[in-house]
Structure 1
Amino acid sequence: MTELLHLTEPALWAAALHDGAYTWSTRGRTLREEGFIHLSHPHQLPAVTRMLYGSEEIELIVLVIDPARLTAPVRHEAMTEGGEEFPHLYGPLPVDAVVEVRQWAARGHASE
């Protein structure tokens, strides 16, 4: 299984656990605003972190998602023509599709 990942803040994940689904697309934008939830493959996560958070010191977690548990489609799409494709989830992320939550270390590696 290829891991699908989503980088987020602990408080947003805690709210999702209460609500039963995660509905944040990316930093500061909801699924409703964006139309999909931004996901990553493991090799893409360091660049995504730099792009969204820069050198900002903030606690982050990585949601590890089992694609077989998703109820909405995932499409791989490039931000620019011919660019690298990223996975996008076109619907809410059910909390039971998250099989692991990892701390994201500032040095750019998820801890196990």
Structure 2
Amino acid sequence: MSQIIYKIAPEALWREAERKGRFTSAPIDIADGFIHFSTAGQVRETAAKHFAEQTDLLLIAIDAARLGNALKYEVSRGGALFPHLYAELDLDAVLWVKPLPLGAGGHEFPTLEGE
């Protein structure tokens, strides 16, 4: 499995996490009891399904190896294994944060490692 996983987050929510020094969760994460992530092969579908037409989003790349045993790959959409974190996200695991602009054909992604 890829060692880089991705989180899509509203910019305001992520900037608050940066101020606090940790990302605790987004509303969907709170409801489900873990922080949702996607692999490079899953993140575009995640954006289309859960963030369609949303602006002011960021794409955050995470070093999965730095998350330890709190990261679990579990069956989700279509039987695929998705990364779920059962802890707060330590910002030391963040590799980069980039804008995820909304274009005419959907969100415009940078090149992702693991595709």
Name the TM-score, length of structure 2 as normaliser: 0.79
- Is this contact kept in 2: 1:72–1:92, CA < 8 A? no
Rounded to whole Å, the distance in 1 between the matches of 2:91 and 2:32 is: 20
- 2:44 aligns with 46
Question: Within the alignment, does 1:103 sit opposite 2:99 as a pair?
Answer: yes
Whole-Å separation in 1 of the counterparts to 2:4 and 2:94 = 11
The number of equivalent residue pairs is 107
Unmatched runs of 5 consecutive residues or more in structure 1: none
Deviant stretches of 4+, over 6 Å: none
Quick one: which amino acid aligns to residue 96 of structure 1?
A: D
Q: Whole-Å Cα distance in 2 between the matches of residues 44 and 14 of structure 1?
A: 24
Q: 1:34: how far off?
A: 2.1
Match of 2:70 among 73, 86, 98: 73
Q: Deviations over 1:25-68 (max 9, x none)?
A: 4xx3344x3211000001111110111122x2412111111123
Alignment-derived partner of residue 14 in structure 1: 15
Assess if the C-alpha contact under 8 Å between 2:55 and 2:101 holds in 1: no
- Give the fraction of aligned pairs with identical amino acids, expressed as a percent: 30
Q: Which residue of 2 aligns with 1:94?
A: 90
* Match of residue 58, structure 2, among 52, 61, 66: 61
Root-mean-square deviation (Å): 2.1
